[in-house]
Amino acid sequence: MRSIRIFYRRVNFNSTSVQRGKCESSLMHSLRMTASAEKTLEWQDELVDENLIWRDSKIQKLAHLSKSEKLDILHSIAPSRSVNYKKTHQNNRRKYKVKLKKAIESQLSKGHVNIANLMSELLSYDDTALIPDTLLEKLKKLEMTRKKQRINMLQIYIKSHNILSQNVKNENSVYVQEGLFKIPHRWGIGTNVIDKECYITTVRDFLSYHFADYSIEAIICHHDERQLKEDTGAHSHYFLNGKNNQNGRYDLHKSQIRKVNEFIKSVGDIDDVLPENAQLNRQQSQVFGEYFQRMFYDFVNEKLLKPKGLVANFADETERKSQQRREMNRQSKLPKSQRSHNHYERQNELAKTELNETRVQQYQLEENISRIQQDTNTAEKSLASKQKELTQATWILRHYQKQITLKQDEVLSLEKEISGYKKTLSRLSDKVIGVIANICKKIYVRTAFLNRGNEIRAKEYTNDILVNYEQLTSPEGRQIAQAAAKSLDDIDLFKAFDNSNELDDGKGFD
């Protein structure tokens, strides 16, 4: 088995305004809705099509979701905003519940059992459950005294109840939990070894196995936070609803403590069992986090890594601190005289621990600086490339703007010409149009005879054409005939038209 490290982290969000903002920000990142200015440091745009999302029991590409669909997902997962006029709705629910009880008694006294039973059903919904609209519709169909007044009372009660049922009573309760599962780049595990779907299904199966009473809102696998030629660094984010589907309470933290306690007992570390009232001190919180990690590691090893010849282990330093912490927990239950660590040794250990932590922080800081420098270099290269592309695009844009201006001028000219033709046509009578059409037809036939060498027939048509031409007095009509002769290169006929113009006596068609 090849030993590797994995990264797993949980973040809890409650429904306070600050936590809601943080949750929305994290969801925007996961759903790839972050502002474009931040993208260059967060992910590669060229790789966003690699990302997947699991929701409603199906996996699809994240990039296939529209902006509005992503926004709907964000709003359905993030803590909802505080209820407006909360006091008013609380007063309404309390006041109308009393009226509802009196109405039930009244209906029973009159023998209206069906109505009383339906009204009693309204009271059967606890403060966290929605009352369905169908119940009110059933009541509307029944006959009762003061029906309009009673239905209005029921509507107000149901509306206030349903609004308050969606409000978390304790804003500090875990509303939604985000988890991140990743195999860091340095272990060289590509998607040819562990495909992207596995990062989703493994997390889904872990949550379903241990926390089946809580809805998994979404799991998103990212594979765009890497270089273009890399295939490592795939990871998944999950969003687990903090509301218990069985009792309607936001008690995820308590449930997770119970599960961790079960795990602690299964591995035999009884001294580390935690209080299940969710009130953990700092040290107990560390114990909880440590065993939760171990529980996740065990599941991932068994279901995902070992079948592929891999095993995830804690770092030596983490393991050493864990053993040391467990030993200190056991000794804390002994009298001070029986403990192996006296005050001096403890101070010495603390100093060493602080030194080691400082070294680790220094190493991490150096790594961060190195990573930031690499990211900066990459960003500078990308910026230079984008600036070059922008310059080229600007030149092309200017070129097409000039072309558009020229085309616009041509269009205006054509529009003026068309407008002139329209005016001309409007001044021509139907009869004039008939004469013009006849002239144009005969000009075409005359040209055909000339091309065949039949000048006699051509001359006959010439006479007919001139007779018709002389009937036209409007300049527009004659211009059309002249244009027809000119278009067929009939120069003689064109000249004949000119001579006819000079001899015109002013009679003919207008």
Residue burial 175-205, b: 16+ Cβ < 10 Å; e: rest: bbbbbbbbbebebebbbebbebebbbbbbbe
pLDDT at residue 181 is higher than 50: yes
Q: Output 127 or 95, whichever has higher pLDDT.
A: 95
- Residue owning tokens 């030596």: 316
Q: What is the DSSP letter of 5?
A: -
Torsion (CA) 407, 411, 412, 416 in degrees, nearest 10 = 150
List alpha helices for 31-85, DSSP H.
36-42, 67-77
Q: Poorest-confidence range of 23-32, 54-63, 305-314, 324-333?
A: 324-333
Q: Which residues contact 507 (CB under 8 A, 6 or more apart)?
A: 473
Q: Hey, which residues does 311 pair with through a beta bridge?
A: 3
The model's pTM: 0.53
Q: Hey, which residues does 53 pair with through a beta bridge?
A: 60, 220
Q: Are 45 and 39 in contact (CB under 8 A)?
A: yes
pLDDT tens digits along 485-508: 878 788 888 888 878 777 665 444
Count of Cβ atoms closer than 10 Å to residue 251 Cβ: 20
Predicted confidence at residue 271, as pLDDT, reads 83
- Average pLDDT across the chain, whole number: 83
What's the pLDDT band for 336 if we cut at 50, 70, 90?
very low
Distance CA 410, CA 404 (A): 10
CA distances from 17 to 74, 201, 447, 456 (A): 15, 32, 90, 101
Q: Output 431 or 462, whichever has higher pLDDT.
A: 462
Q: Poorest-confidence range of 217-221, 333-337, 343-347?
A: 343-347
Mean pLDDT, rounded, for 150-158: 90
What's the pLDDT band for 335 if we cut at 50, 70, 90?
very low
| Tokens coding 469 | 């031409």
List alpha helices for 211-251, DSSP H.
none
Percent of the chain with pLDDT over 70: 85
Mean pLDDT, rounded, for 24-52: 83
pLDDT tens digits along 78-125: 987 666 667 788 888 899 899 889 989 988 888 888 888 988 988 888
Hey, where are the domains in the chain? 2-80+171-322, 86-165, 341-414, 428-503
Q: Output 242 or 488, whichever has higher pLDDT.
A: 242
Q: Are 46 and 203 in contact (CB under 8 A)?
A: no
pLDDT at residue 190 is higher than 80: yes
| Tokens coding 402 | 């000039």
pLDDT at residue 180 is higher than 50: yes
Mean pLDDT, rounded, for 66-72: 94
Q: Output 464 or 187, whichever has higher pLDDT.
A: 187
Q: Output 472 or 210, whichever has higher pLDDT.
A: 210
pLDDT tens digits along 412-433: 887 887 787 667 666 656 677 8
Q: Strand ranges (DSSP E) for 115-182?
A: 176-182
- Residue owning tokens 């005939």: 481
Q: Poorest-confidence range of 73-82, 331-340, 366-375?
A: 331-340
Distance CA 402, CA 380 (A): 33
Q: Output 301 or 146, whichever has higher pLDDT.
A: 301
Mean pLDDT, rounded, for 138-163: 87
Predicted confidence at residue 346, as pLDDT, reads 37
